[in-house]
Structure 1
Amino acid sequence: MTVRGAGETSLPQFAEVVVIGGGVIGVSCAFRLAEAGVDVLLLERDGLGEGSTAKAAGGIRSSFTKPVNVELGLRGLAEYSAFRERFGVEIDFRRDGYLYLITDPADVPAIGHCAELQRAHGVRSYLLDPAEVRDVLPLIEPDGVVAALWSPDDAKATPDAVVQGYARAARACGAQLRTGVEVTGIERDGDALAGVRTTAGFVRTGAVVCAAGAWSGRVGELAGLDLPVRPFQRQVVFTGPVPGLPESVPLTIELPSAFYFHREGAGLAMSYCEDDGFPGFGTRYEAGEWLPRLAELAGRRIPAVLDAGIRTAWAGLYEMTPDRNQIIGESVLLSRFFYATGFSGHGFQMGPATGELIRDLYLGRPTSVDVAELDVRRFAAAGSAPAEHHIV
């Protein structure tokens, strides 16, 4: 039997697991659970992949400063490199690499440690001097660059195509995916889950996966839990054709300004990440003081882009935690409430590993990566965990 909601929406009366959120994290979790034989219902307020995933840059990397993030990133690279063969969907996977441009000598030791960490995991990662930077990307004006980190195996893909591939695979395994359905309440029976209230009716369930991205804090509140995930607006502009643009352009990040760009068609997608950002759920692009600062950063580093003009621009949301690291685990306050959120700009690249982790946590299996340090309880512990850098 089903409970009928507005329009064509219908919900089952019961689901073994309810996944809240239809971005790349949610559909990856739904697929891996369904693949393992679990009865899964995914609920998405809007359309699949229409939240933060739709505005993701599509970068996939293992160049992180924490070993756990390196491992999660490597799993993403492995899955996406074989995605077309595994899922039958073209995701435009390209190994154009990541290039970090260092302009502050004080950052060089940390970048050197990052390179050593990558190599310890079998990843090609090289420290470059300024003269070598233009060998990787001739477009670059290297003035002020003191060193660079070059990770040629890092890549880029199309997030929307990945979401559709996972969604199709999840449905083929028996998962039910419902869009246009908003979760309005989470019912508890003491410290156990009883069900989920939605705009289309009530669903009994014994397990919930919160994969709601920037909205996860609100989902946590519905369950009486504190998930320290806050939304921050990020803006991106897309240029017209850039003269002399090479076919292969690494996703390039200047530090510490966090100005970044990558190839998008015949032009570039460009942005920079302010430390404090724009807190809140707003997704309206505002040029304001932000665009002149972007033009200053871009003109200094890639002068050719100044003649390209802006083709379009948009704003989206990052889901930030206090230490810029994701939270993955199961609540100790509400049994079978799992969370996979707060990826702080890294959700797309960590989607494959996260689906597998949530599956294994739900089934009580050993996880392929030890994610104990990503438990939400770290924020209540004395002191604070080291922050992940380079959140682009």
Structure 2
Amino acid sequence: MPVPAVPPSASVVIIGGGVIGTSIAFHLAEAGAGDVVLLERAELGSGSTCKAAGGVRAQFSDELNIQLGARSLEAFTRFGQRPGQEIDLHRVGYLFLLSTSDDVAAFERDVALQNELGVTSRMIDVEEARRLSPLIDTGGLLGAAFSPDDGHCTPESVVLGYATAARRLGATLLTGTSVLDIETEGDEARTVVTDCGRIRAGTVICAAGAWSAAIGELAGVALPVTPVRRQVLFSEPMPELPEAVPFTIDFASSFYFHREGRGLLLGMSDPEEEPGFRLGYSDDWLPRFGAAMARRAPALADVGLRPGWAGLYEVTPDHNALIGRAASPSNFLYATGFSGHGFLQAPAVGEVLRDLCLGREPFLDVGPLSASRFAGGARTRPEAHIV
């Protein structure tokens, strides 16, 4: 394989070629931000992005995440025109199944806030939840929350769309290029050292997902991101499956499923998974997954299941993203630690990083998401990070 041609300098160097990095590259190139170079050590989207479940939603519990989700959802609906790529978007809705009175009360508050911000979510009763998602068993459920505008799409296609458009607009996206060091001069990160050469940079942006802590360390920036493996599997074809199956989540267990082709994609957050860079699929989670499925969707016990894949969540201490500019080096920006929300927030995050890089006012104040919030012991409200 030929060694990539690394340019000697760039206005902006983006580290990480997943959906966040390619979204930033597209938005910067579209804005005419000069020479934009993206570095990916493997293939585009080969980290966490193409292992994502593909959910897109605006149902969150705080204003920041609601607005990032809603803004991104709008962009996904227009993705065929800008940047120009079919992403197989299915707006079948997100359905959260609730089995405790505390969860019902919390979702009632959340839905009220979502509605104030223009999101068309609503609380529904158990009977309507069963009509929307006929595979579920309603035993123990007290209610549900549903937003008809949410849904799922194909992560690989989103990365392809952003990458193709970014290149068309003049950005350079280099795969097979690993970052070895970031050299600083005074208060600025000035040289990105790769295994294919050195690049002088005007601005450096970390979008390295689960690997961001190591990239931040090279620049002397603390990015508290911990990798945690998440796994999914697939059902065999289900001829009687309804055409529209909402992205259904049992909130208590985190067991979830949505339609994928002629069957289902299924997964859950394994409470016994230890942090680390475990990337291989294994069967050790199946007893816990099977128990959750048996409680909430026992009909699936008669459907054949086949292994899927394993990917990494990039988790922060409060399960909220890290977005902002480092105090030092002052030209080091970051967008990482999305704790399961990176794919669905990528369009809006690309806008925000474009504006931070160009000295513009973003559409949303992301100050509360600065990595500095952990330095003084402050915490934002933890956000449930189910899918």
Q: TM-score range by the shorter chain?
A: over 0.9
Q: 1:315 aligns with which of 301, 310, 314?
A: 310
Give how far 1:75 is off. 1.1
Tell me the distance in 1 between the aligned counterparts of 2:93 and 2:223: 33
**Superposition pairs of residues 210-225 of structure 1, within 5 angstroms:** 210-225=206-221
Q: Which amino acid aligns with 2:290?
A: A
**Superposition pairs of residues 12-23 of structure 1, within 5 angstroms:** 12-23=7-18
Tell me the distance in 1 between the aligned counterparts of 2:273 and 2:330: 34
Contact 2:341/2:385 (<8 A) preserved: no
Counterpart of 2:236? 240
Counterpart of 1:359? 354
Give how far 1:206 is off. 2.1
RMSD: 1.3
Counterpart of 1:97? 93
| Secondary structure in structure 2 of the residue aligned to 1:278 | coil
Q: 1:200 aligns with which of 184, 193, 196?
A: 196
- Structure 1 gaps of 5+ residues are 1-5
Counterpart of 1:181? 177
Tell me the distance in 1 between the aligned counterparts of 2:302 and 2:46: 32
| Secondary structure in structure 2 of the residue aligned to 1:279 | coil
Counterpart of 1:137? 133
1:259 equivalent in alignment to 2:255? yes
Give how far 1:7 is off. 1.7
Tell me the distance in 2 between the aligned counterparts of 1:188 and 1:8: 25
Give how far 1:391 is off. 3.1
Alignment CA distance shift 1:71-1:212 (3 Å):
same
**Superposition pairs of residues 36-55 of structure 1, within 5 angstroms:** 36-38=31-33, 39-55=35-51
Q: 1:295 aligns with which of 285, 290, 313?
A: 290
Alignment CA distance shift 1:41-1:383 (3 Å):
closer
Counterpart of 1:125? 121
Q: TM-score, normalised by structure 1?
A: 0.96
Give how far 1:381 is off. 2.3
Give how far 1:275 is off. 4.4
Give how far 1:243 is off. 5.5
Counterpart of 2:65? 69
Identity of aligned pairs, percent? Answer: 51
| Secondary structure in structure 2 of the residue aligned to 1:207 | strand
Q: Which amino acid aligns with 1:27?
A: T
Q: TM-score, normalised by structure 2?
A: 0.97
Tell me the distance in 2 between the aligned counterparts of 1:303 and 1:391: 21
CA offset digits 1:113-152 (Å, max 9, x no partner): 1111111111111111212211212222111111100111
Contact 1:130/1:147 (<8 A) preserved: yes
Counterpart of 1:159? 155
Further displaced range: 242-251 or 97-106: 242-251
Contact 2:192/2:200 (<8 A) preserved: yes
Further displaced range: 195-204 or 122-131: 122-131
Give how far 1:47 is off. 0.3
Counterpart of 1:34? 29
CA offset digits 1:33-88 (Å, max 9, x no partner): 11111210000000001110010111110000010100000111101101112233
Q: How many residues align?
A: 386
Alignment CA distance shift 1:282-1:44 (3 Å):
same
| Secondary structure in structure 1 of the residue aligned to 2:139 | coil
Counterpart of 1:3? none
Tell me the distance in 2 between the aligned counterparts of 1:325 and 1:303: 33
| Secondary structure in structure 1 of the residue aligned to 2:80 | helix
Tell me the distance in 2 between the aligned counterparts of 1:276 and 1:228: 21
Alignment CA distance shift 1:343-1:390 (3 Å):
closer
Tell me the distance in 1 between the aligned counterparts of 2:163 and 2:37: 12
Contact 1:243/1:304 (<8 A) preserved: no
1:327 equivalent in alignment to 2:299? no
Contact 1:101/1:253 (<8 A) preserved: yes
Counterpart of 1:79? 75
Give how far 1:301 is off. 1.7
CA offset digits 1:149-183 (Å, max 9, x no partner): 01111121101001010001101111000000000
Q: Which amino acid aligns with 1:194?
A: R
Tell me the distance in 1 between the aligned counterparts of 2:294 and 2:81: 40
Tell me the distance in 2 between the aligned counterparts of 1:361 and 1:391: 29
1:285 equivalent in alignment to 2:281? yes
CA offset digits 1:184-221 (Å, max 9, x no partner): 00000121121100010111112100000000001011
